[in-house]
């Protein structure tokens, strides 16, 4: 993370890393307070020099984007990690304990991987391997390795370079109880990317109805057609990643997330998974709101589920999902849903 993209985000989110302070997060907090003496009660009140303790994610703090944090000793020593708030939701929702073994199927650069480790070992003493991290791209896997090492949790994470759906055979991972599934997506929730610009321009914010492509010049229409095709390819790939994870024999909990604002990559993927006849045998259900950050107000898009399910069921499914809007909710646009089974 570079400070020069700071002006894009309304808040710079920082997470205290237990592995570089032997679990003494209060010591790190004391240091942080020296740099940020003014405490505010809401992220919208953050000004330079102030700090906000997040009300949803433990050990997560927000500071003003203009406060250069990457030159601070705490950052250089890996005691704090810059990670967007919404990106912290998956590991928090999964909430693994030392009894769990987790696969992070699409893991580079490793923000969520190191966050899962922090949940399993809150005292910062990583012992045996508890996380299997897969990453298809060799270059990105190098970044992942660097991040895991600089966070100090390498002893509990085993990295494999390759395609998760090909490398990870369910019968070889009978000990795995949980999954983080954060596959490649359009990135339409991230500021400054071409996709979010295109998405906004085309009013594609939630879905891609055909009407929005009317009355556009041919070049723009061609661009939109390409974008629609890309979304279709992405959602089918995202479906395959989750489907594969759902076939692991002893997995009990699985969190799927994207940094996309499009229903095609979010609610629609959930619906396709719920309707798939082969997946039904595995017995997965969407976890209810009360176990998925219930206080977070922005939930899944009800109308998407209502197209397929009766109102009450649709409401329950939408409530089970979490959405964050870019900037308006204090960071990147995001989607998360949790599947559970007995
Ligand atoms: N979870 C990461 C984090 O929080 O830092 C971000 C993951 S990024 C959205 C998606 C990653 O999945 C990319 O690095 C991509 O190369 C990787 N990927 C895509 N398809 C994959 C596959 N089939 N198996 C393993 N990794 C894959």
CA 229 to chain centre: 24
pLDDT at 192: 62
Residue-wise pLDDT for 75-96, tens only, equals 999 999 999 999 999 999 999 9
- Give me ligand 1 centre to Cα 288, in Å: 26
Burial-class residue 77 by CB neighbours within 10 Å (0-12, 13-18, 19+). Answer: middle
pLDDT at 331: 96
**Span of 143-157, 163-177, 201-215 with lowest mean pLDDT:** 201-215
Beta strands in 2-79 (DSSP E): 12-16, 38-40, 50-53, 60-63
Q: What is the ipTM score, two decimals?
A: 0.99
Tokens of residue 129, six digits: 């391997």
Question: Coil, helix or strand for 271?
Answer: helix
Residue-wise pLDDT for 260-301, tens only, equals 999 999 999 999 999 999 999 999 999 999 999 999 999 999
If one residue of 13, 106, 254 were mutated to test the ligand 1 pocket, choosing by the most ligand atoms within 8 A of its CB, it would be: 106
- Give me ligand 1 centre to Cα 110, in Å: 9
Question: Coil, helix or strand for 42?
Answer: coil
Given a cut of 50, whether residue 187 has pLDDT beyond it is yes
Tokens of residue 94, six digits: 């999964």
- Give me ligand 1 centre to Cα 134, in Å: 8
pLDDT at 203: 39
Tokens of residue 54, six digits: 């997040």
pLDDT at 34: 94
- Report d(CA 211, CA 224) in Å as an integer: 12
pTM of the model: 0.92
- Give me ligand 1 centre to Cα 328, in Å: 26
Q: Atom 22 of ligand 1 has which residue's CA nearest to it?
A: 163
pLDDT, mean over the chain:
92
The residue that leads in pLDDT, 203 or 239, is 239
CA 155 to chain centre: 23
The answer to whether 49 and 34 are in contact (CB under 8 A) is no
* Index of the ligand 1 atom closest to the CA of residue 90: 4
- Report d(CA 130, CA 39) in Å as an integer: 36
Residue 259 among the catalytic residues: yes
**Span of 7-11, 124-128, 254-258, 302-306 with lowest mean pLDDT:** 7-11
**Span of 42-51, 143-152, 188-197 with lowest mean pLDDT:** 188-197
Task: Kindly list the protein residues whose Cβ atom lies closer than 6 A to any atom of ligand 1.
Answer: 87, 105-112, 134-137, 140, 163-165, 182-184
Which residues are CB-neighbours of 55 under 8 A, at least 6 positions away?
295
Q: What DSSP state is assigned to residue 191?
A: T
At 223, the pLDDT band (50, 70, 90 cuts) reads confident
**Span of 17-21, 211-215, 273-277 with lowest mean pLDDT:** 211-215
At 220, the pLDDT band (50, 70, 90 cuts) reads confident
Beta strands in the chain (DSSP E): 12-16, 38-40, 50-53, 60-63, 80-82, 102-104, 131-135, 157-161, 178-181, 253-258, 285-286, 322-324, 334-340
pLDDT at 219: 80
Q: Atom 9 of ligand 1 has which residue's CA nearest to it?
A: 184
Which residues are CB-neighbours of 112 under 8 A, at least 6 positions away?
87, 90, 91, 104, 180, 182
pLDDT at 216: 61
DSSP per-residue letters across 273-308: HHH-HHHHTT--EEPPGGGS-TT---B--HHHHHTT
Given a cut of 80, whether residue 302 has pLDDT beyond it is yes
If one residue of 108, 132, 160, 186 were mutated to test the ligand 1 pocket, choosing by the most ligand atoms within 8 A of its CB, it would be: 108
């Amino acid at each position: 993370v570079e400070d020069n993209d700071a002006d894009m985000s309304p808040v710079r989110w920082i997470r205290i890393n237990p592995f570089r302070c032997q679990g003494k997060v209060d010591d790190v907090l004391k240091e942080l307070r020296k740099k940020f003496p003014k405490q505010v009660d809401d992220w919208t009140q953050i000004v330079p020099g102030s700090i906000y303790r997040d009300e949803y994610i433990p050990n997560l703090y927000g500071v003003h984007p203009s406060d250069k944090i990457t030159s601070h000793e705490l950052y250089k020593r890996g005691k704090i990690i810059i990670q967007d708030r919404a990106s912290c939701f998956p590991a928090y929702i999964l909430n693994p304990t030392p009894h769990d073994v987790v696969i992070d199927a699409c893991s580079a650069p490793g923000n969520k991987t190191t966050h899962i480790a922090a949940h399993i070992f809150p005292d910062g003493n990583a012992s045996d391997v508890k996380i299997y991290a897969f990453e298809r791209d060799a270059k990105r896997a190098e970044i992942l390795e660097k991040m895991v090492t600089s966070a100090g949790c390498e002893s509990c994470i085993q990295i494999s370079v390759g395609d998760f759906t090909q490398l990870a055979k369910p019968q070889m991972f009978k000990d795995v109880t949980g999954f983080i599934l954060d596959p490649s997506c359009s990135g339409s929730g991230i500021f400054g990317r071409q996709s979010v610009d295109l998405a906004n321009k085309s009013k594609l914010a939630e879905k891609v109805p055909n009407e929005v492509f009317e009355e556009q010049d041919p070049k723009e229409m061609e661009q939109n057609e390409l974008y629609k095709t890309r979304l279709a390819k992405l959602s089918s790939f995202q479906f395959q990643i989750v489907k594969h994870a759902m076939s692991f024999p002893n997995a009990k909990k699985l969190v799927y997330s994207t940094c996309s604002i499009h229903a095609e990559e979010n609610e629609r993927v959930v619906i396709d998974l719920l309707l798939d006849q082969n997946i039904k045998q595995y017995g997965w259900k969407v976890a209810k709101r009360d176990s998925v950050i219930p206080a977070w107000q922005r939930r899944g898009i009800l109308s998407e589920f209502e197209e397929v399910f009766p109102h009450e069921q649709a409401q329950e499914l939408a409530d089970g999902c979490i959405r964050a809007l870019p900037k308006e909710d204090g960071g990147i646009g995001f989607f998360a849903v949790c599947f559970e089974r007995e």
